[in-house]
Amino acid sequence: MSESVKDVNGTKKHVATYLDAYPTEVSSILQGGYHHPLLRSWQNERQLSKSSFIYPLFITDNPDEETVIESLPKQKRWGVNAVIPYVKTLVEKGLKAVILFGVPLKEGVKDPYGTAADDPDGPVIQAIKKLRENFPDLFIMCDVCLCEYTSHGHCGVLYEDGTINREESVRRLAAVAVNYAKAGANCVAPSDMIDGRILEIKRGLINAGLAHKCMLMSYSAKFGGSLYGPFRDAAGSAPSFGDRKCYQLPTGGRGLARRAIRRDLAEGADAIMVKPSTFFLDIVSDAKEIAEDVPICVYQVSGEYAMLYAAAEKGVFDLKAMAFEACYGCLRAGATLIISYFTPEFLEWLDELN
């Protein structure tokens, strides 16, 4: 009910009123549990730490290359020689893990079978060896896909009509994965989304005597969409014809994602990845429910990262604050690992919290 009083001049003036008082219920009081900055951090079921982050590195076949990627702020393509001093600065700040993407740029290196993917003199295997030599404790992951290495830009071997030859593709992908493991990779992560490749890779690792020391992380729930543009600029992996809708998941395909997660677990996946992250947190939650006993990773993809940078530059929000919010959203949904281009910043930001 509104009330008013008259001031000294006789003018009516609105005053604040209160409803009747009732005893406060004990269960109503929550703020005592988060009134202090440390208490607020304790409310996070999962804590962001340096061990949570995996940093993507684009490695070219020019050993001394250091080229800015225009569509991906603060990111570069690196040659195997040039990347070592850069990674050294990150390891000194607490970097624990990287994921490698090969970017072959030499003329004529691409062919229909992605032969360059596991060339012993190619960028990925050379980078594994260089990083292992210089940083023996660094966890080295390798993306396994053929799109960067095929002349047609698709993720597997094709039939003459341009469709995916599943049987040959998974055998080729498995060979690449095993060769990365032989070179010293701690983890192989197939991103091609071709049916049955997890089983083929797991068998290959077992037969090579490497399954006990190489994690198999499946991009089980990788959705097609519009957020991969900067990555394709960086990796030179855009398809030369058609698209990847027949093997990447459709945006609304929640049921397909759940089926793929179950399948990949049954085929031997040691960890599950969801990609992209921000718009697919329901899938992250599903993944945690289905794969409750294995690590869940999200990939905060190039378009998500570039989008946050662009909005921050327009003054829409503070970049650091929004990066934390995005990552905590992933943790709340069930992720324990985050592949992010923000990793170098988080190595410093997390120190600032201590």
- Of 96, 110, 202, 222, which one is the catalytic site residue? 222
Query: Long-range contacts made by residues 320-328, C-beta under 8 angstroms, separation at least 24?
Result: 320/345, 320/349, 323/349, 324/48, 324/349, 326/277, 326/278, 326/300, 327/48, 327/52, 327/300, 328/44, 328/48
288 tagged catalytic: no
Structure token digits, residue 38: 């440390």
The share of the chain scoring above pLDDT 70, in percent, equals 94
Does residue 300 or residue 160 have the better pLDDT? 300
CA distance 152 to 165: 14
Residue 324, C-beta contacts closer than 8 angstroms, at least 6 positions apart: 48, 349
CA distance 82 to 64: 5
Does residue 265 or residue 237 have the better pLDDT? 265
Residue 241: the pLDDT is: 47
222 tagged catalytic: yes
Q: Are 18 and 3 in contact (CB under 8 A)?
A: no
The radius of gyration computed from the CA coordinates of the chain, to the nearest angstrom, equals 25
- Of 275, 288, 314, 320, which one is the catalytic site residue? 275
Mean pLDDT of the chain, nearest integer: 90
Structure token digits, residue 321: 């604050």
151-203 pLDDT, tens per residue? 888 888 888 888 889 899 999 999 999 999 999 999 999 998 899 999 999 99
Q: Are 323 and 293 in contact (CB under 8 A)?
A: no
**Which of 239, 275, 237, 243 has the alpha carbon at shortest distance from 103?**
237
Dihedral of alpha carbons 197, 204, 120, 270, sign: positive
